[in-house]
Amino acid sequence: MKLISIPSEELRLSESELALRLKVPRGCNIKETDLVKEKLLSLMDCKAVACVLPLSLTDDGVVLGDIPLKSHDLKRSLLGKREALVLAVTLGMGVERYLLSLPKIGVAQHFIADSVASAYAEALCDKVQSTVLGNRKAPRFSPGYGDLSLEAQRPLLALLAAERTVGITLNESLLMRPQKSITAIVGI
């Protein structure tokens, strides 16, 4: 298991990811995003934990190390791979507190800040993936995507000791806290 701390200044937002999150055409300039980016960068405590596990395919999914995951979509994504990178990332509680304070200020500000924070969480995944795998590009697959149940969060977070290592917890609804956290599986 590898604990990774990344300075927020090293994150590179994907303009297409940001446009997708904001539901605007790529290249559209929303001046409020610059203020939100600056605020978020000052609040982020980017942490990640990752490990590489052997991978085997089963009739109804995959086994990562000794964790069975039922998902035909994940199995298709990992066909031909022998190992998988399992990671958990978070932007930290500073971002969480900031986002929770915004509904009092305004719905539009909250939407913009939430969208920018989500794009930063994806950028953090990109950075961790490149830190661990170098230039090898591979798609990420997360619980809740396709037919991989959100229930898969439990064994992945336990495997990574995510609560102890990076402060990610899971509520009864299987949502992570801090909310701008991601778990993912990447075939190698």
What is the C-alpha separation between 31 and 158, in angstroms, rounded? 40
pLDDT of residue 87: 97
Question: What are the residues whose beta carbons fall under 8 Å from the beta carbon of 4, sequence distance 6 or more?
Answer: 47, 48, 49, 50, 128, 131, 132
3-state helix, strand, coil in the chain (%, to 5): 45, 25, 30
User: Is the pLDDT assigned to residue 142 strictly greater than 90?
Assistant: yes
Out of 3.40.109.40, 3.40.30.10, 3.20.170.30, 3.10.20.30, select the CATH number for domain 2-187: 3.40.109.40
Give the C-alpha distances (Å, rounded to integers) separating 157 from 39, 88, 92, 103, 135.
28, 7, 16, 29, 26
The arithmetic mean of pLDDT across residues 82-105, rounded, is 92
Tell me the domain boundaries of the chain: 2-187
Is pTM beyond 0.85 here? yes
Q: Under DSSP, is residue 10 helix (H, G, I), strand (E, B) or coil? A: helix
Q: Stretch 60-77: mean pLDDT, rounded?
A: 97
Q: Please report the pLDDT score of residue 24 as a whole number.
A: 87
- On the question of pLDDT at 106 being above 90, the answer is no
Q: How far is CA 21 from CA 1, 26, 111, 175, in A?
A: 31, 11, 9, 19
SS3 state of residue 148: coil
